[in-house]
């Protein structure tokens, strides 16, 4: 945890250049636990918290100490705005795209509402004056409005600039990143300008300005791995450099896009698993300590009669074969079972706590089956026996640290059932 806090403090004091670099070593990029069958989209920042869209609704997320989304809550006032894709907030203003048109909503009484179209040169209506008079005609005319829409806006320059993606005329090719600057009247905006130092002949989208220093975006340009990847460009300072891809963990052969840094943690959207999901950094667990002390299992662990109804076999790590010396103990088990020749016997396999749930469940069932087969070959009526596996559940030593304790969890329990348990399947 100290490592995470240190990384957070560093990122809070440095420029956006370090946003993804704090997660270079000791981290992978994994899908978030909150993903479901619906596509997640429009990663955005709302009061510096992560927000996203799913199924036409906008959600705000709470992050956990494990760098994942802990819980989500619908922001109903944002859902009602018809937001499409990424949106951006600066103070009490929210800019978003709906059907390719940029709108601005204002926060009032903690509710976002009253969206208005941005008044942008070349995109807003004017009145035409009659020649030779001082009167304005009743006829409305409009400056030529490009057919291309504007999408995925982001604020920059302390709210005085808005970046967005579009296929406006005059771009370098495909979708480009453009920006508009706020006029001194604080109500209207200058005509869009292209960002030639960022754009390519392919498609650029999802602009994000971090601290007005680092600029992130997605692109399917020629030097991407495959599909679209996340790129960055340092825009201020002594080390202004050419556009480059972000750290390898955040890019793949799939479509990676919509990179956002929320609460100093980078998130993105990717279709690595087939559909658009949220991905986040994940700490690579440190390797478990290995106890190299030799264990003489032949003397430390024998077949144990736990009580008058239960005997226990112990198994070697990741194997379905019993410890060799236990073969001789089957005569003891046989006699134990036949103390009452009519008794029903339940054979249950377990594993230690290492490995995945599915793998251990299969392994535990195979261990129980080994004991079952051995007893049937010895002459025990198979109808008296039931077997199952419970994986790594019910450990004898929870959170085992040594190999000796792991050994105690790798077992098969043989239980003679009471009469009222015989019908429990």
**Cα maximum dimension of the chain:** 119
Going along the chain from its start, the domains and CATH numbers come out as 2-283 (2.120.10), 298-421 (3.30.1330.60)
More confident residue, 100 or 326: 100
* Torsion angle (degrees, nearest 10) of CA 160, 165, 169, 170: 70
Please report which confidence band the pLDDT of residue 2 belongs to, taking 50, 70 and 90 as the band edges: very low
Strand partners, 41: 53
Q: How far is CA 382 from CA 7, 91, 333, 369, in A?
A: 60, 74, 15, 12
Instruction: Report the interhelical angle of 330-337 vs 357-377 (nearest 10°).
Output: 80
User: Concatenated DSSP letters for 112-126?
Assistant: EEEEEE-EETTTSEE
Q: How far does CA 364 lie from the centroid of its chain?
A: 31
Query: Which among 158, 65, 78 has a CA at the least distance from the CA of 111?
Result: 78
**pLDDT tens-digit map of 145-197:** 456 899 999 999 999 999 999 999 989 989 999 999 999 999 999 999 999 98
Q: Among 16-30, 37-51, 208-222, 391-405, where is mean pLDDT lowest?
A: 16-30
Query: Which among 162, 158, 257, 174 has a CA at the least distance from the CA of 213?
Result: 158
Q: Give the model's pLDDT for residue 210.
A: 86
| pTM score, whole prediction | 0.61
The pairing of beta strand 119-120 with beta strand 188-189 = parallel
State how far the Cα of 347 lies from the Cα of 375, in Å rounded to an integer. Answer: 11
**pLDDT tens-digit map of 190-228:** 999 999 989 999 999 999 998 888 899 999 998 888 889
Checking phi first, is residue 91 left (phi over 0); if not, alpha (psi -120 to 50) or beta?
A: left
Q: Where are the beta strands (DSSP E) in 184-250?
A: 188-189, 193-194, 204-210, 214-219, 229-234, 244-245
The pairing of beta strand 101-108 with beta strand 161-166 = unpaired
User: Concatenated DSSP letters for 259-302?
Assistant: EEEETTEEEEEE-TTSS-EEEEEEEPPPPPPP--S---HHHH--
Q: Where are the beta strands (DSSP E) in 32-83?
A: 40-46, 49-54, 57-63, 69-74
- The answer to whether the CB of 231 falls within 8 A of the CB of 242 is no
Q: Where are the beta strands (DSSP E) in 118-250?
A: 119-120, 125-129, 136-142, 150-156, 161-166, 176-181, 188-189, 193-194, 204-210, 214-219, 229-234, 244-245
The answer to whether residue 300 scores a pLDDT higher than 60 is: no
* DSSP-derived 3-state class of residue 102: strand
Q: Give the model's pLDDT for residue 263.
A: 84
The answer to whether residue 308 scores a pLDDT higher than 70 is: no
Q: How far is CA 224 from CA 200, 219, 255, 335, in A?
A: 12, 7, 10, 69
- The answer to whether the CB of 67 falls within 8 A of the CB of 74 is no
Strands lying side by side in the sheet with 40-46: 40-46, 49-54, 57-63, 69-74
Q: Give the model's pLDDT for residue 157.
A: 93
Based on the number of CB atoms within 10 Å of its own CB, is 207 exposed (0-12), middle (13-18) or buried (19 or more)? buried
State how far the Cα of 165 lies from the Cα of 97, in Å rounded to an integer. Answer: 10
Q: Give the model's pLDDT for residue 380.
A: 87
Q: Among 139-153, 248-262, 352-366, where is mean pLDDT lowest?
A: 139-153
- The answer to whether the CB of 257 falls within 8 A of the CB of 276 is no
Find the mean pLDDT for residues 289-310: 53
Q: Among 1-15, 230-244, 363-377, where is mean pLDDT lowest?
A: 1-15
Find the mean pLDDT for residues 293-303: 47
Find the mean pLDDT for residues 254-263: 92
The answer to whether residue 105 scores a pLDDT higher than 50 is: yes
Mean pLDDT, the chain, as a whole number? 81
State how far the Cα of 351 lies from the Cα of 408, in Å rounded to an integer. Answer: 9
The pairing of beta strand 310-314 with beta strand 411-416 = antiparallel
More confident residue, 299 or 107: 107
Output phi, psi for 393, to 5 deg.
Answer: -75, 160
Q: Among 104-108, 204-208, 232-236, where is mean pLDDT lowest?
A: 232-236
Please report which confidence band the pLDDT of residue 388 belongs to, taking 50, 70 and 90 as the band edges: very high
Please report which confidence band the pLDDT of residue 311 belongs to, taking 50, 70 and 90 as the band edges: confident
């Amino acid at each position: 945890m100290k490592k995470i806090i240190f990384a957070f403090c560093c990122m809070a004091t440095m420029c956006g250049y370090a946003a993804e670099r704090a997660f270079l070593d000791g981290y992978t990029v994994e899908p978030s636990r909150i993903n479901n069958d619906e596509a997640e989209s429009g990663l955005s920042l709302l009061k510096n918290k992560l927000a996203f869209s799913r199924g036409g609704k906008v959600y705000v997320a709470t992050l956990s100490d494990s760098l994942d989304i802990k819980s989500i809550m619908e922001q109903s006032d944002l859902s009602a705005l018809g937001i499409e894709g990424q949106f951006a907030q600066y103070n009490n203003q929210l800019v978003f795209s709906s059907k390719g048109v940029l709108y601005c909503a204002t926060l009032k009484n903690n509710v976002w509402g009253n969206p208005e179209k941005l008044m942008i040169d070349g995109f807003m209506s004017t009145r035409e004056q009659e020649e030779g008079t001082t009167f304005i005609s009743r006829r409305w005319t409009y400056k030529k409005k490009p057919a291309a829409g504007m999408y995925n806006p982001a604020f920059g320059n302390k709210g005085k600039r808005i970046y967005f993606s579009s296929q406006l005329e005059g771009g370098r090719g495909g979708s480009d990143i453009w920006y508009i600057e706020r006029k001194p009247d604080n109500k209207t905006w200058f005509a869009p300008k292209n960002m030639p130092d960022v754009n390519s002949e392919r498609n650029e989208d999802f602009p994000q300005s971090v601290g007005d220093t680092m600029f992130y975006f997605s692109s399917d340009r020629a030097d991407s791995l495959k599909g679209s990847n996340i790129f960055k460009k340092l825009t201020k300072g002594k080390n202004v450099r050419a556009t480059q891809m972000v750290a390898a963990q955040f890019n793949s052969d799939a479509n990676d896009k919509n990179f956002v840094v929320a609460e100093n943690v980078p998130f993105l959207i990717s279709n690595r698993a087939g559909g658009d999901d949220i991905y986040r950094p994940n700490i690579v667990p440190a390797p478990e300590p290995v106890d190299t002390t030799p264990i003489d299992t032949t003397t430390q662990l024998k077949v144990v009669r736990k009580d008058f109804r239960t005997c226990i076999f112990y198994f070697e790590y990741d194997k379905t074969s019993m410890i060799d010396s236990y073969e001789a103990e089957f005569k003891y088990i046989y006699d134990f079972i036949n103390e009452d020749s009519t008794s029903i016997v339940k054979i249950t396999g377990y594993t230690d706590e290492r490995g995945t749930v599915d793998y251990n469940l299969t392994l535990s069932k195979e261990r129980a089956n080994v004991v079952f087969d051995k007893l049937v070959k010895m002459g025990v009526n198979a109808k008296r026996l039931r077997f199952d596996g419970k994986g790594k559940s019910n450990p004898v030593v929870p959170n085992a640290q040594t190999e000796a304790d792991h050994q105690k969890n790798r077992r098969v329990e043989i239980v003679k059932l009471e009469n009222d348990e015989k019908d429990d399947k």
